[in-house]
Structure 1
């Protein structure tokens, strides 16, 4: 028996829980995707072609990325 390094609960297998490992992987993928969105779509180049809602979402994500850096 071992303590899961992700959720810090007892693991009967001696390894981290599979669901904890999968959740962690998905969180890292989501964060990586969120960080790449403003880079993939250049906001200054073609922001007039996008809808108001899409521009607002992309601006929010780029501001969130700047705060985390």
Structure 2
């Protein structure tokens, strides 16, 4: 028996729980996607061309990212 490194509960096998590993993988993919959005939209060129709604969403996501750091 081992303690799962993700959820910190006892695992019957000598490995982490499969669902915990998958959940962590999905969370990392989501974080990578959120971090890559500005590059995909080419925000470094000119963000004034974006609509007001898109700019508001991106500002919100940036603030969310700063809080997490």
Q: Which range, TM-score by smaller chain?
A: 0.7 to 0.9
Deviation at 1:50, TM superposition (A): 3.5
Which is bigger in relative contact order (C-alpha 8 A, separation at least 6)?
1
Give the unaligned 5+ runs of structure 1: none
Give the unaligned 5+ runs of structure 2: none
Between the two proteins, the alignment pairs up a number of residues equal to 69
So what's the TM-score if we normalise by structure 1? 0.76
Question: Quick check: 54-63 or 4-13, which moved more?
Answer: 54-63
Taking only aligned residues, the RMSD between alpha carbons, in angstroms, comes to 2.1
Give 1:2's aligned residue: 2
So what's the TM-score if we normalise by structure 2? 0.76
Query: Which structure shows the bigger proportion of residues in helix conformation?
Result: 1
